[in-house]
Amino acid sequence: MSRRLAGPLPAAVALRLELIDDPRAISTISASVAEAGGRVRTLSTVRRAGRAGAEPGDSGTVEVELEVEDADEHTLVALLEPLREVIALTVTRPLAKVFGKRVIVVGGGAQVAQVALGAVSEADRHNLRGERISVDTIPLVGEEPIASAVRAVADLPRARMLVLAGSIMGGEISRAADELRAVGIPIIALNMVGSITDHVDLVVSDPVQAGTMAVMAVSDTATFDLAKQRGRRY
Amino acid sequence: MSRRLAGPLPAAVALRLELIDDPRAISTISASVAEAGGRVRTLSTVRRAGRAGAEPGDSGTVEVELEVEDADEHTLVALLEPLREVIALTVTRPLAKVFGKRVIVVGGGAQVAQVALGAVSEADRHNLRGERISVDTIPLVGEEPIASAVRAVADLPRARMLVLAGSIMGGEISRAADELRAVGIPIIALNMVGSITDHVDLVVSDPVQAGTMAVMAVSDTATFDLAKQRGRRY
């Protein structure tokens, strides 16, 4: 399983496309991106127009956010704009430049909110100096929903750190934590009941400090190295 | 510009693919998805293995999260697995089922944290009853960074509501707010200095209540209709 590369990513071109929602539309678009020498890195369907009331055979339209690396913007636009499937095209900004790295907080509501307080306050200080760090949260209850969320952090674009905020976690959540760390995403957990504290990089008792440390660990400017703290408890 | 459709989305199949990072890889994958009758809805490059130390011409590998609608899982896997570009394939869960709808909070750190406190606490209550609502935040300073973030909310998958948390916003932020509402994403703003309060759906003075109302407005189970509150101030 590959690990994240350190360092900056190649420049990306971002486009918002309104497309005819034909099953072949995306493969036509991707073929043109490849023709421009580019690689499709992100594609998100952000809105869709219904087929309700439309003629039979009318496939409706979708709005898609597309991010491409290794392509020249003008070449890409010139190749995509004439396609039959493309109704409208706007150049936008890659989400990494706007929302940046993501710290994900999962767990019980009261504790997630306190971790978020620390993380947002610390991210504010870094973003003031030109970084882009987001703090994304979901309050959840129960072993299966939390384990699923831990596993799914591996599928979230730009996720760099998970904080587990709760009072008791173990079992399937600990197995999911091992899997997430194996793909290169570190985890900070609150000090809590259950096996989870043996399956994370760092254990922190105070939720506000846990959030602060999570942001420091992903920041480019803070002098905090999670590798040096691995296995410790605060 | 199309508006979101109300109601549930079609079932999606989610796959994590390890791919040879060839410029044509995504168009090959998309063509096979179309062959299975599917539509690519989401594609995110979540990890990449470097080319450092590799042989010249070695294109490295990437891990991609793919979500497809209208395709049968077994047919899709059977078509993708034999492709030369596919090194590994795992069935995962669509992110909409794990993290659900997203309430986005943008603004000054202190206020973002208080809105998050209200939103996370309210989301906790809804998620306990089986919904999935996330609260995603970024603290930012300055007219241009905030206006860019407001515009980029239109490009975030599953974003259903924006809360603007600050003490003074207007100018380009108000223009960006009009654009975001035009694509169907409503906005709640704190009561603050500047023109922004004339360019949002609802103005709320207390940040905890603003967060709570934002979650109630996107929830399927709360009896709170933002349309009936449009233009009001609390």
Cα A47 to chain center, whole Å? 19
Contact present, A166 and A108 (Cβ < 8 Å): yes
pLDDT of residue A7: 47
pLDDT over 70 at B125, yes or no:
yes
Interchain CB distance below 8 Å, A99 and B137: no
A109: chain B residues, CB-CB within 8 Å: 120-121, 123-125
The partner residues of A104 in beta bridges, in order of sequence, read: A136, A162
Q: What is the pLDDT, as a whole number, of residue A199?
A: 98
pLDDT at B5: 43
Does residue B193 sit at the A interface (CB-CB below 8 Å)?
no
What residues of A are in contact with residue B31 (Cβ under 8 Å)? 27, 31
Encoding tokens for residue A159? 């996720």
Specify whether the CB–CB gap between A48 and B5 falls below 8 A: yes
pLDDT value of position B4:
44
Q: Which two tokens stand for residue B223?
A: 């009896």
Tell which of A155, A156, A167, A179 to mutate to test the B interface (max B CBs under 10 Å). A155
What is the CB neighbour count within 10 angstroms for residue A170? 17
Q: Vertex B68, ends A90 and B81: CA angle to 5°?
A: 120
B54 vs A: CB within 8 A: no
CB-based contact (8 Å) between B120 and chain A? yes
- Inter-chain residue contact B134 with A133, CB threshold 8 Å: no
pLDDT for position A231: 87
Mean pLDDT of B8-37: 91
Question: What was the pLDDT predicted at B52?
Answer: 45
Confidence band (pLDDT; 50, 70, 90) for B145? very high
Burial class (CB in 10 A: 0-12, 13-18, 19+), A193: exposed
Distance separating alpha carbons of residues A106 and A163, to the nearest angstrom: 6
Pairing verdict, β A61-69 and B61-69 = unpaired
Q: Please report the pLDDT score of residue B6 as a whole number.
A: 42
The order of strands in the sheet holding A202-204 is A202-204, A187-190, A159-165, A101-107, A133-139, B133-139, B101-107, B159-165, B187-190, B202-204
> How far A197 CA sits from the closest chain B CA (Å)?
23
pLDDT the model gives residue A1: 36
Given 3-state DSSP classes, what are the helix, strand and coil percentages for chain B, each rounded to the nearest 5?
A: 35, 30, 35
pLDDT tens readout for residues A113-148: 999 999 999 999 999 999 999 999 999 999 999 999
The mean of the pLDDT values for chain B is: 92
Please indicate if any CB of chain A lies within 8 Å of the CB of B149. yes
**A39: chain B residues, CB-CB within 8 Å:** 21, 23, 25-26
pLDDT given at position A55:
56
Q: Which of residues 8-37 of A touch B (CB under 8 A)?
A: 14, 16, 18, 21, 23-27, 29-31, 33-34, 37
Residue A177, min C-alpha distance to chain B (Å):
16
B134 CA: distance to closest CA in chain A (Å): 5
Question: Testing the interface with A: which of B98, B117, B131 to mutate, by most A Cβ within 10 A?
Answer: B98
Residues whose CB falls within 8 Å of the CB of residue B48, separated by 6 or more in sequence, listed in order:
A2, A4, A5, B21, B60, B61, B62, B63
CB contact (8 A) between residue B5 and residue A40: no
Phi, psi of A185 (to 5 degrees): -105, 115
Q: What is the pTM of this model?
A: 0.92
Q: Name the least confident of A107-111, A208-212, B3-7, B55-59.
A: B3-7
Spatial contact of B23 and B102, defined as CB atoms under 8 Å apart: no
pLDDT at B2: 39
Q: Give the CA count within 13 Å in the CB-facing half-sphere of B170.
A: 9
Closest Cα in chain A, distance from residue B75 (Å) = 15
B50 burial level (CB within 10 Å; 0-12, 13-18, 19+): middle
- The answer to whether B78 and B169 have CB atoms below 8 angstroms apart is no
Residue A224: CA atoms inside 13 Å, Cβ hemisphere, count? 14
pLDDT tens figures, B193-219: 999 999 999 999 999 999 999 999 999
Q: Do A155 and B95 touch (CB under 8 A)?
A: yes
Positions of chain A with pLDDT under 70: 1-10, 50-58
